[in-house]
Chain A
Amino acid sequence: MSSDESHPLAKYIRKGAQPHTHCAGCGNGIIAQSFLRAVDQAGIPMRRMVCVAGIGCSGWIPSPFFDVDTLHVTHGRPIAFATGVKLGNPDLEVVVFTGDGDCSAIGGNHLIHAARRNIGVKVICVNNMIYGMTGGEVAPTTPRGIKTTTTPFGNLERPFDLSKLVVAAGGTHVVRWTSYHVARLVAAMKKALTRKGFAFVEVLSQCPVHYGRRIGISNPVEMMRWFQKQSVPIEKARELSEQELSGKFVVGEFVDIEAPELTELYAEQFGAVRLGSN
């Protein structure tokens, strides 16, 4: 364990929480480290942070590994719980770790309403385009035609574009990168953490076990190369047709606008009364 102690991010890891539970080749490790680097760079004290985790592999990024107050909740509901935490004590930095199924299928309602409210909750959405934890069932983000354990003849439905969905719902800060774009991801997470309002950080991530295998790329490194090759910066994507963007991943900052944050509006309406437990 002495080598753990020497890792610069080891101070953020809960003692006794190892070993982790992610499959070999999973993108969660990259996302976990990117997040902790962002926290480190932003200088946010862990005692002021609350991580709210949904159900699905993404929830296991903070829970129980980050040494931070953690609320690991029911499937689809982390944003609803996080809304209560943030309103209860606006001084807390509230971060949700969720997946594409967790926040856009069962929990889609909470996602769009949190974006609409512009409550200062930061959502890290790990999008692996599949239900990984339960065995590889089709998700609302699975592209058309893909064969999964529950679409053995190919998926008939159109996938959600999650970042566009949150933009449409009024999200004030929406950004998408992939597990390949680590430096960009760290910078994006840092920016999201230092903003006041709602933030949605979508991370396309590889699930070699349940998705890569289905699309003929079971090697995790190959999956990341695929992300690299298929990614198109949003600035460039704006000049391309829908047809030209078929099969591509548009990455970058979709929106970044200033708007009043909900808990600040509460404080204002109630005569600058400081909300919270104290």
Chain B
Amino acid sequence: MQGNEACALGAVAAGCRFFAFYPITPAGEIAEKMSQLLPKARGVYIQMEDEIAAIGSVIGASWTGLKTMTATSGPGFSLMQENIGYAVMTETPCVIVDVQRAGPSTGIVSAPMQGDVVQARHGSHGEYEIIALAPSSAQEMFDITIRAFNLAEQYRSPVIVLADETVGHMREEVIIPEENMIEIVNRRTPSSAAEASRAFLSPSVAPMPIFGKGFSAHVTGSSHDEYGKRQASAPEAIDKIVRTISEKIRAHTAEISTIQKLMLDDADVVLVAYGSCARTAEYVVKQARERAVHAGLLRLIGLWPFPGKTVQQALKSVGRVIVLENNLGQIFPEVERVTAGGSEAFFLPPETIGTLHRPAYVLEHVMEAAS
């Protein structure tokens, strides 16, 4: 099965019942699949007039109680940024899948690149925290999409699935578990009017007053208090917002942003990678081991919030760290920061950005680092 198709299946399995889209490559197959699956699942597929409208309608539908998603690639992801900030501000659960392609601008529509990593973190204006996960296989396009919905519901936050062209278009085996084997998280909703009135800014995530239930919810992108009441000129109000909506996520960084360790215990040289790059990295680690080099892999599954402490702990006795990314180093500064004073960290992009790392090229660098 193709990665993009697995993403759509994962979304529906997670309970997604509203999907809005504007056509873009290489995310198109997600929309095609959703348009087939959702009507049968009593859901809504709609093609909007642009990506701004797609994310807007996704947020609107989320307030009616539905689990909602949109999918796009770089240019559309750029257009969505303002409303992603709105979803952060209003604590609206929703999932945004960005199947990254080569940019800036129109770039190359079907070349893999990981150019949107920092944009996912800081693309909207203002200060906030966000969740972004990076699948590295078709299986994970299924699994991580489900997890994205669960995290969105749990933390009342937009969650970004930061896929890339390779992962979206690759075809490999995907195991779809039985429905009752899939863990599903649903947002908390208020059980009383009093509970519904304090609908925002709780460090433990406030219950969400769904529209149409008689709660008179007031949802605004302007600065507001925990009742949703506009506080448009009080710095104390925006201070509370920035701290609360960031901290409700940061306090759970280790649970949200997990990593996968491969042969790390005795490793002298460790590759740090995510998304499609992690596939090359895994292959290279095995090749290096065959050459008696103690290589290992630390694969980032959650990119944001960056799991600094987890990474620091995992790399504390490692001599050399090579960060593989298909860009000019967007996660590298984070890794460098948490390994400073311990390991020596290097950055290694592919020889040609917009193509995958050539394994022999990466192996060369691993052998060199080990010597």
Q: Is A92 an interface residue (CB 8 A)?
A: yes
- From B211, which residue of chain A is reached at the shortest CB distance? A69
Chosen A-B contacts, 19 in total, with CB atoms closer than 8 Å, are A48-B212, A50-B63, A50-B212, A70-B216, A70-B219, A72-B220, A72-B221, A73-B59, A80-B49, A81-B59, A83-B46, A84-B59, A84-B61, A87-B18, A88-B60, A88-B66, A89-B212, A92-B211, A275-B42
Q: Is B222 an interface residue (CB 8 A)?
A: yes
Partner of B49, one of A52, A68, A85, A113: A113
Enumerate chain A residues within 8 angstroms of B56, measured Cβ to Cβ: 73-74, 77, 80-81, 83-84, 110
User: Are B57's CB and A87's CB within 8 A?
Assistant: yes
Partner of A273, one of B42, B49, B216: B42
User: Are A88's CB and B216's CB within 8 A?
Assistant: no
Report the interface size class on chain B: 35 or more
Enumerate chain A residues within 8 angstroms of B63, measured Cβ to Cβ: 50, 69, 71, 85, 88
Measured in the bound complex, the distance between the Cα atoms of B66 and A277 in whole Å is 6
In the complex, per-residue mask of B215-237: 1 if CB is within 8 Å of any chain A CB, else 0: 11111111000001110000000
User: Are B52's CB and A14's CB within 8 A?
Assistant: no
User: Are B52's CB and A77's CB within 8 A?
Assistant: yes
Most A-side CB within 10 Å, residue of B39, B59, B217: B59
Partner of B60, one of A47, A70, A83, A274: A83
Q: Is A258 an interface residue (CB 8 A)?
A: no
Partner of A50, one of B53, B57, B86, B211: B211
Measured in the bound complex, the distance between the Cα atoms of B217 and A92 in whole Å is 14
In the complex, per-residue mask of B320-355: 1 if CB is within 8 Å of any chain A CB, else 0: 000000000000000000000000000000000000
Q: Is A91 an interface residue (CB 8 A)?
A: yes
Enumerate chain A residues within 8 angstroms of B216, measured Cβ to Cβ: 14, 46-47, 67-70
Partner of A87, one of B44, B65, B228: B44
User: Are B211's CB and A89's CB within 8 A?
Assistant: yes
Distance to closest chain B CB from A37 (angstroms): 20
Q: Is A82 an interface residue (CB 8 A)?
A: yes
In the complex, per-residue mask of A49-75: 1 if CB is within 8 Å of any chain B CB, else 0: 010100000000001100111111110
User: Are B218's CB and A70's CB within 8 A?
Assistant: yes
Enumerate chain B residues within 8 angstroms of A68, measured Cβ to Cβ: 216
- From B64, which residue of chain A is reached at the shortest CB distance? A88
Q: Is A8 an interface residue (CB 8 A)?
A: no
Measured in the bound complex, the distance between the Cα atoms of B221 and A73 in whole Å is 6
The answer to whether residues A110 and B64 also contact, given A64-B218, A69-B215, A69-B216 and a CB cut-off of 8 A, is: no
Distance to closest chain A CB from B192 (angstroms): 15
User: Are A89's CB and B57's CB within 8 A?
Assistant: no
- From B57, which residue of chain A is reached at the shortest CB distance? A84
User: Are A72's CB and B48's CB within 8 A?
Assistant: no
Q: Is B139 an interface residue (CB 8 A)?
A: no
